[in-house]
């Protein structure tokens, strides 16, 4: 037991290494650009001021979005999806698998669940003891179920999901902007050092490497950002791109695609003035997502539309169904 805790502690410590690497590279780039390039290499005062102002705007936005991507906790299913104490007691005391499944079916009556496991069963996480909302998956690294999980990113040491997906996208965008700004403004001095126009010194090393590192990161970020832009336009997560979500009528990779404009609004919100600022503006609470084919909602006896999933005056979430549940529906235990 103690060994297991020790291994988990070591894993948590080592998981911060990629973040520390990125932080070290960014801090070095700040020193190299501000001091070695702007203060020690550039002679024009106007050029210095202009470069420093624009650089710090990019640096602040990059740092802000990176911070939000790292330290925004992943959202987990609310208590309505968790087994209550009494339900858990009934579930654990029941020896018959069919009876256990029926207990979970009764709980699912009040929940807006549209997707299924690959086998067609209702998705249930045995580790977290929750019925999984649509697009929710269990992260073995974070050891929790994450709403609208996209992937676990080692470079932010966090799960990218409903709570921080906007921040992650902005982090990629401002990282690209940061890199391309450095490359564009360093380029002329890179050529001067390369051709020997400027004297050799400590600044030469920093300027040359700034150019290479900025271009290297920009190219890799460009492909990653482009891929996620495509995912947002299609309203898919990375997991859904590899394995299409399963509905009552079978898998449908476009099941949540409600059009580019509405897809963007789900991630960035309706106020476009806030799209490029790392503040929470995503629509909904991560438990329910509109479907492309609304008719499938009425075909599934376990589903409730968004009008049935509202907060009561005391802040608790309530949901109900007007149709009976098909007792033949099965539950799948997932880890």
Give the residue numbers annotated as catalytic, written as ranges.
Answer: 153
Nearest Cα residue to 286 out of 112, 97, 87: 112
- Residue 214: CB atoms within 10 Å: 23
Q: Rounded to an integer, what distance in angstroms lies between the CA atom of residue 151 and that of residue 141?
A: 11
The residue assigned the tokens 């009494």 is: 86
Q: Rounded to an integer, what distance in angstroms lies between the CA atom of residue 310 and that of residue 315?
A: 9
Q: Tokens representing 34? A: 């501000």
The residue assigned the tokens 């470079």 is: 155
CA 115 to the chain's CA centroid: 20
Strand pairing category for 331-334 and 122-125 = parallel
Q: Tokens representing 278? A: 């790392």
Q: Rounded to an integer, what distance in angstroms lies between the CA atom of residue 135 and that of residue 240?
A: 8
CB of 104 closer than 8 Å to CB of 122: yes
- Residue 6: CB atoms within 10 Å: 10
DSSP 261-293: HHHHHHHH-S-GGGTTSSS---SS-SS----S-
DSSP 38: I
26 membership: H or E segment, kind and range? helix 17-31
Compute the C-alpha angle 157/162/167, nearest 5°: 60
CB of 149 closer than 8 Å to CB of 164: no
């Amino acid at each position: 037991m103690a060994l297991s805790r020790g291994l988990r502690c070591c894993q948590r410590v080592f998981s911060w290494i990629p973040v520390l690497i990125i932080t070290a590279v960014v801090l070095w780039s700040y020193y190299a650009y501000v001091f070695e390039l702007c203060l020690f290499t550039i002679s024009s005062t106007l050029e210095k001021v202009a470069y420093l102002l624009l650089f710090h705007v990019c640096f602040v936005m990059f740092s802000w979005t990176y911070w939000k991507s790292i330290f925004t906790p992943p959202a987990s299913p609310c208590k309505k999806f968790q087994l209550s104490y009494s339900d858990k007691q009934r579930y654990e005391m029941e020896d018959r698998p069919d009876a256990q499944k029926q207990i979970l079916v009764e709980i699912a009556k009040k929940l807006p669940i549209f997707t299924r496991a690959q086998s067609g069963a209702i998705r249930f996480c045995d580790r977290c003891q929750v019925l999984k909302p649509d697009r929710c998956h269990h992260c073995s690294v974070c050891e929790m179920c994450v709403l609208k999980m996209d992937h676990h990113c080692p470079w932010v040491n966090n799960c990218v999901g409903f709570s921080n997906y906007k921040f992650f996208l902005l982090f990629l965008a401002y990282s690209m902007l940061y890199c391309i700004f450095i490359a564009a403004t360093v380029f002329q001095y890179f050529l001067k050092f390369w051709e020997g126009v400027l004297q050799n010194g400590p600044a030469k090393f920093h300027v040359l490497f700034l150019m290479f590192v900025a271009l290297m990161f920009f190219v890799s970020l460009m492909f990653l950002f482009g891929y996620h832009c495509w995912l947002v336009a299609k309203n898919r997560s990375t997991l859904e791109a590899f394995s299409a979500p399963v509905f009552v009528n079978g898998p449908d990779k476009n099941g949540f695609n409600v059009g580019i404009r509405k897809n963007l609004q789900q991630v960035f919100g309706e106020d476009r003035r806030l799209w490029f600022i790392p503040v929470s503006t995503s629509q909904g609470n991560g438990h329910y997502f509109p479907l492309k084919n609304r008719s499938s909602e009425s075909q599934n006896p376990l589903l409730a539309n968004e009008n049935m999933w509202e907060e009561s005056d005391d802040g608790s979430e309530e949901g109900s169904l007007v149709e009976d549940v098909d007792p033949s529906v099965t539950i799948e235990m997932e880890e």
